[in-house]
Amino acid sequence: MSTLTTSSDKYSCSERLDDGRMIVNIGPQHPATHGTLRLLLELDGEYIVKCTPELGYLHSGFEKLGESMSYGQYMSVTDRMNYLSPLSNNIAYAEAVEKLLDIQVTERCKYIRVILAELSRIFDHLLNLGTQGIDLGAFTPFLWLFEEREKINSLFEMMTGHRFTTSFVRIGGMAADLPEGFDAEVKKFLGHFPKEIDNFEKMLTRNRIWMDRTKGVGVISQEDAVSYGLSGPNLRCTGFEWDIRKEDPYDCYDHFDFDIPVGANGDVYDRYLLRVEEMRQSVRIVLQALDNLPSGPVDLDNAKVRLPSKDNVYNRMESLIHHFKLIMDGHGLQPPKDREIYHCIESPNGELGFYIVSDGTGKPYRVRTRPPSFIHYQVVPMMIEGRLISDMVAVLSSLNLIAGELDR
């Protein structure tokens, strides 16, 4: 419809058309949209006739920034993309650069990355399930899940020093090794966490109101899901079994024994159940990784890639020179000239990929994030047109759209 564009000069929040339909603007500041998302809805009573999503309210030019920062500096920018699971983004970027440089990190580093990635997955799903609940009116499970998130925040703080945007992964290793007592704390948390998931499920899974509001809502077929490029839980809820951790294992995921939950109907209820089950599987993976954690160094011993330890820098000439050559402007990493790679991981949201073009200098020529949220936001009109406004809220929260990753 030509009336439904944003180039209208009227900034009122709703407009009545001649045949009784209304155009309602939802967002960009709105508690039900997760982040700065905007929807223009054309309503016939309470039924949505047409929907136009708008984005870009959080666009910060991350890709342009990447062209002026060195590879190591860009790590802290990747935190800010999917800010609910920052460690996953760090891991994806570090692995992409390691693929470009053709280096392999140590076994211990891979296991630690798996532990942190799975804890981030639990972290992300806890928030998403809590907000799915609160958007539809269930306040209590939201607070219970946030209590669990606080415990994971303390674990991250113990490990990295930050609760939130951690920037902990480095190219060629990690910023530091696991602190003492970390695995005991994690096991203590994981000891009672499955019971907390059970308590949470008692509130919602067989709840009559929850099932009425989420079953059959926001359905997407398998062909549409594949054509629209969905990935992660949004693809698996349609019955399509695809998880990069199983099909194309990176970071020694093939050493662990875990299952991939797959939905059946492709609706909001299936996405909810899938995320709950994924949290349980993540607990399994972390326990296995902690039990089998290999010893050894976390960082690579390659001075062209990873900074030498401070002790060496202060006492040995060659370490000082290596430190200089990695940090100073004009030097830095030396990837091959005019080569590009694409590397993706299974982030909690779906397939998060980095496409990096290098020109031989220490700054990337082009860094592109393949953002799952951006691609998932495209299916929102298809899912909600013809349905009620209250279904729009359920669908938006179930897709796990994160504005930082959407807009970059």
Partner 1 sequence: MPQGETALKKIKDKFNDSILAVVTFRNETQALVKKKDLYPIMQFLRDEQELFFNCLVNLTAVDRLELSDTHRFEMVYHLHSYRTNDRICIKTPVDENDLTVKSMTSLWKTANWQEREVYDLYGITFEDHPDMRRILLWEGYDGYPLRKDYPLRGRGEREKFNEYLDNIKR
Taking CB under 8 A as the binding criterion, the range among 53-61, 87-95, 172-180, 253-261 that sits at the site for partner 1 is 53-61
Local structure of residue 253 (DSSP, 8 states): G
Tell whether residue 9 is a contact of partner 1 (CB under 8 A).
yes
Could you give the CA distance from residue 157 to residue 160 in angstroms, rounded to a whole number? 5
| CA–CA dist 365, 354 (Å, integer) | 13
Output 138 or 300, the one with its CB closest to partner 1: 300
**Is 27 near partner 1 (CB under 8 A)?**
no
The contact mask relative to partner 1 for 345-384 (x = CB under 8 A, - = no) is ------x-x-x-x-x-----xx-x-x---xx-xx------
Nearest to 189 by CA among 94, 66, 281, 286: 286
Q: What is the DSSP letter of 255?
A: G
Per-residue string for binding with partner 1, 208-237, x by CB under 8 A?
----------------x-xxxx--------
* Minimum gap (Å) between residue 9 Cβ and partner 1: 6
- Gap between the Cα atoms of 84 and 244, Å rounded: 20
Nearer to partner 1, 55 or 112 (CB): 55
Q: Which residues between 95 and 124 bind partner 1 (CB under 8 A)?
A: 99-100, 102
**Total residues interacting with partner 1, rule: CB under 8 A:** 45
Cβ closest to partner 1, residue 61 vs residue 294: 61
Question: Residue 48 gets which letter from DSSP?
Answer: E
- Any contact of residue 315 with partner 1 (CB under 8 A)? no
Query: Rounded to the nearest 5°, which phi and psi values hold at 40?
Result: -105, 115
* Nearby residues of 381 by Cβ (< 8 Å), 6 or more positions away: 50, 51, 52, 53
144 binds partner 1 (CB under 8 A): no
What span, in angstroms and rounded, lies between the C-alpha atoms of 105 and 243?
A: 23
Out of 3, 31, 44, 59, the residue judged to bind partner 1 by CB under 8 A? 59
Rounded to a whole number of angstroms, the minimum distance from the CB of residue 214 to partner 1 is 25
Question: What is the smallest separation between the CB atom of 74 and partner 1, expressed in angstroms?
Answer: 14
Which is closer to partner 1, CB of 8 or CB of 292?
8
| Comparison of 100 and 186: residue with beta carbon closer to partner 1 | 100
Tell me how far the alpha carbon of residue 366 is from its chain's centroid.
21
Does 247 engage in binding with partner 1 (CB under 8 A)? Answer: yes
Rank residues 101 and 109 by Cβ distance to partner 1 and give the closer one.
101
State which of residues 22, 65, 190, 313 lies at the interface with partner 1 (CB under 8 A). 65
Please report how close the Cβ of residue 241 comes to partner 1 at its closest, in angstroms.
10
Give the DSSP per-residue string, 67-123. TTS-TTTTHHHHHTTSTTSHHHHHHHHHHHHHHHHT----HHHHHHHHHHHHHHHHH
In the complex with partner 1, the residue whose CB is nearer, 57 or 146, is: 57
Does 248 help bind partner 1 (rule: CB under 8 A)? yes
* Residue matched to tokens 């299974």: 346
Backbone torsion region of residue 45, taken as left when φ is above 0, otherwise alpha when ψ lies between -120 and 50, otherwise beta = left
Cα 284 from Cα 259, distance rounded (Å): 9
Binders in 316-345 for partner 1, by CB under 8 A? 336, 338-342, 344
**Between 230 and 279, whose beta carbon lies closer to partner 1?**
230
Q: Pick between residue 310 and residue 337 the one whose CB is nearest to partner 1.
A: 337
Residue 330 tokens, joined: 């004009």
**Residue by residue, what is the 3-state secondary structure of 267-315?**
CHHHHHHHHHHHHHHHHHHHHHHHHCCCCCCCCCCCCCCCCCCHHHHHH
Could you say whether residue 61 binds partner 1 (CB under 8 A)? yes
Q: How far is CA 401 from CA 164, 169, 216, in A?
A: 18, 24, 20
In this structure, what token pair is assigned to residue 353? 């990929």
Q: Which is nearer to partner 1, 147 or 248 (CB)?
A: 248
- Residues in contact with partner 1 by CB under 8 A are 6-7, 9, 55-56, 59, 61, 63-65, 67-68, 99-100, 102, 224, 226-229, 240, 242, 247-248, 336, 338-342, 344, 351, 353, 355, 357, 359, 365-366, 368, 370, 374-375, 377-378, 407
